[in-house]
Structure formats: structure tokens, C-alpha cells
């Protein structure tokens, strides 16, 4: 997706359509509990000028301030220290604006715009990276709203660097998770160290930037698991973002996190 620009600003536009009404969509996008159910652990002070914080675990966190608050239509915030530390010239603040539009068919269109105030073209790479970065989580969001909206959620993130080529890394990862060669709609028992974790494949994406498979887990462990791989700098890193829903979500997350972490360590060292 191209980066748009004028004399002062550069921005990128993203969007998706979800099977949910505006109130459900607003809670998922503009509250801490909602973001934590499909993206990452988040805290939001629900007002203009309120604090916002995204917790990315070992990758650190990103803090900012709410700039727009118009439920259930428009939500905006700014992050002033969003880029990697030490980048030459420092990072201009990153503004995010989210608009929710209710459709006649009952669904909602979500438009997300990321922008920076700069005339420097060397920030285009970071902006373009949002497209690939959001793809998997947007798939989680759509499935969360369709199947689990409003339920208590507990999530975690696991990752492991690989010494193998991206091709070999993804092959090993999907084989050990019983996801090799899957297609949308396939039913699989996920992982080799845990019994009775069954799920349906909801999305498969493979391109030159990343690969991921989204699985909707079935009872007795209702949830979503996003298995992915990225190749920053040509080095392969696998990831697992897991989201569990319902009264037993904390117990389900604890049991699976321990088992899947051991499986990653055994597979990739």
C-alpha cells in the first residue's frame, strides 16, 4: 500500500470490514480490555488527554496520549517514542486515527490512518511496515468480534529466533505445530506436546515479508492462535500470539504457554 504525502505530512491508510456493530467494534478498538483481546496488553484512559500504553513484552512498550474520543465513531492517539531507539535524527510523533462506519448490512468498516509530520522520505519504510504488521492482528480482530466479543480474555506472546533459512524455519515450525500445508477451513490438532487442542484454520498468508496461520481453537480451550514468521534483516523469527476467552481463560493460557514455550525451545534452541 503506497505512502501518501503532502508538503508536511506522510501517512498510510489501512482498513477492514468486520461482522459486528459499532458499539462492539468501539470496545475492541478504544478500550484497554478490548485491545488486549486481539492485539497486545493495553491500557487506555478513556478521554481526550488520557494515557495509552501498549505492552509488547520483551520488545518493550509504547506510550502515548489520546487525541480524539468520539464514541463509537472516532478514536485517535499519538505515540512520541514509537520508533527504535537510536535511529538517526530521532522519530517524529506517530499519530493514529481510527474511524468506525456502520454499514446498512449491520457490519462495520474500520479505517486506520498512521501519519507522521515530516517531509523526509526515509520514514516511508516504517510506515509501509504497518501494512504487514497489522495483517495478522486484523485477522484476529475479525474473528474475535465474530466469535468471542465481550468475553474475558487472556493473551500472551512467544517468539524464537532461528538459525535456519526462512524457508526451512517455516517448514519446521508448521510441521511441529501440525500446520504444514494447511488451507482455510482445515481442522487440525495443534502442536505435538498438548493433547486435545483442536482448531479450524481461519486464515493463511505467505508473502515475501511474513507468513502466518490463524487458528480458531475449539472447546474446551476456546481461543485464537496466530502462528507467524517474520524476517527482519533476513533473519527468521517465529512468533505465537495466543488469545483465550471465557471464565477459564487464565488457566488455559498458563497451561498452553508453558507447553508451547517448551516446544519452541526444543525446536529452535
What DSSP letter does each residue of the chain carry, written as one string? -PPEE-SSEEEEEEEEEESS-HHHHHHHHHSHHHHHTTSSEEEE-SSTT-EEEEE-GGG-EEEEEEEEEETTTEEEEEESS-SPTT-TT-PPPEEEEEEEEE-TTS-EEEEEEEEEE---GGGHHHHHHHHHHHHHHHHHHHHHHHHTTTS-EEEEEEEEE-SS-HHHHHHHHHHHTT-TT--TT-EEE--SSSTT-EEEEEEEEE-SSEEEEEEEEPTTS-EEEEEEEE-GGG--EEEEEEEEESTTHHHHHHHHHHHHHHHHHHHH-
Q: What whole-number distance in Å separates Cα of residue 95 and Cα of residue 134?
A: 16
Compute the CA torsion angle 188, 194, 197, 199 (nearest 10 deg): -30
Give the pLDDT band (50/70/90) at residue 88.
Answer: very low
Identify the pLDDT of residue 58. 77
Closest CA to 177 of 188, 185, 186: 188
Specify the pLDDT at position 209.
74
Give tens-digit pLDDT for 143-191. 999 999 999 999 999 999 999 999 999 999 999 999 999 999 999 999 8
The Cα–Cα gap between 192 and 50 comes to: 44
Q: Rounded to whole angstroms, how far apart are CA atoms 140 and 146?
A: 10
- What is the per-residue pLDDT across 34-64, written as a single tens digit (0 to 9) for each? 999 999 999 999 999 999 999 988 778 899 9
| Contact call for residues 216 and 200 (beta carbons, < 8 A) | yes
Tell me the C-alpha distance between 216 and 252, whole Å.
14
Whole-angstrom distance, CA of residue 87 vs CA of residue 219: 46
Q: Is the pLDDT of residue 85 over 80?
A: no
Higher pLDDT, 190 or 122: 190
**All domains of the chain, ordered by start, with CATH?**
4-147 (3.30.530.20), 153-268 (3.30.530.20)
- pLDDT value of position 86: 39
Q: What is the pLDDT of residue 194?
A: 61
Q: pTM score, two decimals?
A: 0.92
Contact 153, 33 (CB under 8 A): yes
Q: How far, in whole angstroms, is CA 168 from its chain's centroid?
A: 24
Q: Over the stretch 202-256, which tens digit does the pLDDT of each residue have?
A: 999 988 778 999 999 998 899 999 999 988 778 899 999 999 999 999 999 998 9
Spatial CA neighbour of 188 closest among 159, 147, 227: 227
* Highest-confidence segment of 9-13, 82-86, 91-95, 245-249: 245-249
Count of other CB atoms within 10 angstroms of residue 209: 15
Amino acid at each position: 500500500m503506497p505512502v501518501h504525502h503532502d508538503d508536511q505530512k506522510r501517512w498510510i491508510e489501512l482498513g477492514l470490514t468486520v461482522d459486528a456493530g459499532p458499539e462492539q467494534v468501539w470496545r475492541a478498538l478504544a478500550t484497554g480490555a478490548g485491545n488486549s483481546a486481539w492485539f497486545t496488553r493495553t491500557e487506555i484512559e478513556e478521554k481526550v488527554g488520557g494515557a495509552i500504553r501498549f505492552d509488547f513484552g520483551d520488545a518493550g512498550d509504547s506510550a502515548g496520549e489520546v487525541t480524539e474520543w468520539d464514541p463509537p465513531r472516532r478514536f485517535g492517539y499519538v505515540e512520541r517514542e514509537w520508533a527504535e531507539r537510536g535511529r538517526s535524527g530521532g522519530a517524529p510523533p506517530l499519530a493514529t486515527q481510527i474511524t468506525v462506519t456502520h454499514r446498512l448490512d449491520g457490519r462495520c468498516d474500520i479505517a486506520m490512518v498512521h501519519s507522521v509530520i515530516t517531509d523526509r522520505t526515509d520514514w516511508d519504510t516504517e510506515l509501509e511496515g504497518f501494512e504487514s504488521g497489522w495483517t495478522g492482528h486484523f485477522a484476529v480482530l475479525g474473528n474475535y468480534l465474530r466469535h468471542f466479543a465481550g468475553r474475558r480474555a487472556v493473551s500472551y506472546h512467544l517468539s524464537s529466533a532461528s538459525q535456519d533459512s526462512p524457508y526451512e524455519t517455516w517448514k519446521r515450525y508448521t510441521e511441529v505445530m501440525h500446520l504444514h500445508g494447511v488451507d482455510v477451513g482445515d481442522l487440525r490438532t495443534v502442536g505435538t506436546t498438548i493433547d486435545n487442542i483442536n482448531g479450524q484454520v481461519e486464515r493463511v498468508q505467505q508473502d515475501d515479508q511474513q507468513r502466518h496461520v490463524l487458528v480458531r481453537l475449539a472447546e474446551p480451550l476456546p481461543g485464537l492462535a496466530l502462528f507467524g514468521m517474520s524476517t527482519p534483516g533476513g533473519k527468521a523469527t517465529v512468533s505465537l500470539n495466543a488469545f483465550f476467552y471465557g471464565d477459564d481463560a487464565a488457566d488455559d493460557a498458563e497451561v498452553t504457554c508453558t507447553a508451547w514455550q517448551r516446544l519452541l525451545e526444543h525446536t529452535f534452541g
